[in-house]
Amino acid sequence: MLWNEIIGLLAILIGCFFYFVGVLGFARFGDVYLRIQSASIASTLGIAGLLVGAAFLTPSSAPLVIAWAAFMLMTSPVASHAIAAAAYRSGVKMKDPVRNDLEGVVMPSVLAAKNTELESEKSE
Protein backbone atom coordinates (compact mmCIF):
# COMPACT_ATOMS: atom_id res chain seq x y z
CA MET A 1 0.00 0.00 0.00
CA LEU A 2 1.14 3.48 -0.79
CA TRP A 3 1.14 6.26 1.80
CA ASN A 4 -1.76 8.09 0.10
CA GLU A 5 -3.87 4.93 0.30
CA ILE A 6 -3.11 4.57 4.01
CA ILE A 7 -3.97 8.22 4.70
CA GLY A 8 -7.12 7.91 2.58
CA LEU A 9 -8.33 4.82 4.39
CA LEU A 10 -7.50 6.37 7.76
CA ALA A 11 -9.52 9.50 6.87
CA ILE A 12 -12.46 7.35 5.77
CA LEU A 13 -12.31 5.41 9.05
CA ILE A 14 -12.28 8.69 10.99
CA GLY A 15 -15.31 9.87 9.01
CA CYS A 16 -17.12 6.61 9.74
CA PHE A 17 -16.23 6.96 13.42
CA PHE A 18 -17.84 10.41 13.56
CA TYR A 19 -20.96 9.09 11.83
CA PHE A 20 -21.17 6.23 14.33
CA VAL A 21 -20.76 8.53 17.34
CA GLY A 22 -23.32 10.92 15.86
CA VAL A 23 -25.88 8.15 15.49
CA LEU A 24 -25.28 7.08 19.08
CA GLY A 25 -25.74 10.66 20.26
CA PHE A 26 -28.85 11.10 18.15
CA ALA A 27 -30.38 7.97 19.65
CA ARG A 28 -29.31 8.75 23.21
CA PHE A 29 -29.99 12.47 23.60
CA GLY A 30 -33.37 13.49 24.91
CA ASP A 31 -34.47 16.69 23.23
CA VAL A 32 -34.42 18.15 19.75
CA TYR A 33 -31.63 20.65 20.44
CA LEU A 34 -29.12 18.04 21.57
CA ARG A 35 -30.09 15.78 18.70
CA ILE A 36 -29.55 18.59 16.21
CA GLN A 37 -26.10 19.21 17.70
CA SER A 38 -25.21 15.54 17.48
CA ALA A 39 -26.44 15.20 13.90
CA SER A 40 -24.68 18.41 12.86
CA ILE A 41 -21.29 17.35 14.17
CA ALA A 42 -21.66 13.87 12.73
CA SER A 43 -22.64 15.11 9.30
CA THR A 44 -19.98 17.83 9.19
CA LEU A 45 -17.00 15.84 10.41
CA GLY A 46 -18.17 12.54 8.97
CA ILE A 47 -18.57 13.82 5.43
CA ALA A 48 -15.32 15.77 5.72
CA GLY A 49 -13.45 12.59 6.66
CA LEU A 50 -15.04 10.59 3.87
CA LEU A 51 -14.34 13.26 1.26
CA VAL A 52 -10.73 13.81 2.37
CA GLY A 53 -10.24 10.05 2.19
CA ALA A 54 -11.74 9.98 -1.29
CA ALA A 55 -9.42 12.81 -2.33
CA PHE A 56 -6.39 10.80 -1.23
CA LEU A 57 -7.61 7.62 -2.91
CA THR A 58 -8.51 9.30 -6.22
CA PRO A 59 -6.04 12.15 -6.74
CA SER A 60 -7.48 13.02 -10.15
CA SER A 61 -10.76 14.15 -8.55
CA ALA A 62 -9.16 15.71 -5.47
CA PRO A 63 -9.93 19.38 -6.28
CA LEU A 64 -13.62 18.65 -6.78
CA VAL A 65 -13.84 16.49 -3.67
CA ILE A 66 -12.05 19.11 -1.55
CA ALA A 67 -14.47 21.75 -2.88
CA TRP A 68 -17.39 19.54 -1.79
CA ALA A 69 -15.83 19.12 1.65
CA ALA A 70 -15.33 22.88 2.00
CA PHE A 71 -18.94 23.47 0.96
CA MET A 72 -20.20 21.00 3.56
CA LEU A 73 -17.98 22.47 6.29
CA MET A 74 -19.46 25.91 5.59
CA THR A 75 -23.13 25.05 5.10
CA SER A 76 -23.89 22.20 7.51
CA PRO A 77 -23.48 24.25 10.74
CA VAL A 78 -25.59 27.06 9.26
CA ALA A 79 -28.36 24.65 8.35
CA SER A 80 -28.31 23.10 11.82
CA HIS A 81 -28.49 26.54 13.41
CA ALA A 82 -31.48 27.43 11.23
CA ILE A 83 -33.28 24.23 12.25
CA ALA A 84 -32.58 24.85 15.95
CA ALA A 85 -33.72 28.47 15.69
CA ALA A 86 -36.94 27.37 13.98
CA ALA A 87 -37.55 24.78 16.71
CA TYR A 88 -37.01 27.41 19.40
CA ARG A 89 -39.28 29.95 17.71
CA SER A 90 -42.01 27.36 17.34
CA GLY A 91 -41.94 26.74 21.08
CA VAL A 92 -40.19 23.38 21.37
CA LYS A 93 -39.11 23.01 25.00
CA MET A 94 -35.73 21.83 26.24
CA LYS A 95 -35.79 18.60 28.24
CA ASP A 96 -33.74 19.66 31.29
CA PRO A 97 -32.68 23.28 30.75
CA VAL A 98 -29.87 24.65 32.87
CA ARG A 99 -30.41 28.12 31.48
CA ASN A 100 -32.14 29.73 28.54
CA ASP A 101 -30.17 32.66 27.15
CA LEU A 102 -32.87 33.49 24.59
CA GLU A 103 -35.81 33.58 26.97
CA GLY A 104 -37.69 36.82 26.39
CA VAL A 105 -35.33 37.89 23.61
CA VAL A 106 -36.43 35.99 20.54
CA MET A 107 -39.98 36.88 19.53
CA PRO A 108 -41.55 36.76 23.02
CA SER A 109 -45.07 37.35 21.69
CA VAL A 110 -44.91 34.29 19.47
CA LEU A 111 -43.49 32.17 22.30
CA ALA A 112 -46.11 33.42 24.74
CA ALA A 113 -48.91 32.63 22.32
CA LYS A 114 -47.46 29.19 21.65
CA ASN A 115 -47.04 28.46 25.38
CA THR A 116 -50.64 29.53 26.07
CA GLU A 117 -51.79 27.29 23.26
CA LEU A 118 -49.79 24.33 24.62
CA GLU A 119 -51.06 24.88 28.18
CA SER A 120 -54.66 24.98 26.99
CA GLU A 121 -54.14 21.68 25.16
CA LYS A 122 -52.70 20.08 28.31
CA SER A 123 -55.59 21.21 30.48
CA GLU A 124 -58.18 19.69 28.13
Q: How deeply is 101 buried, as exposed, middle or buried, from its count of CB atoms within 10 A (0-12, 13-18, 19+)?
A: exposed
Task: Classify 87 as helix, strand or coil.
Answer: helix
Both ends of the chain: CA-CA distance in Å? 68
**Type of residue at 70:** A
DSSP character for 30?
A: -
- In the chain, how many domains are there? 1
Q: For residue range 36-79, what is the model confidence (pLDDT) as tens digits?
A: 988 898 889 999 999 999 999 999 999 999 999 999 999 999 99
- pTM comes to 0.72
Q: Which domain holds residue 53?
A: 3-123
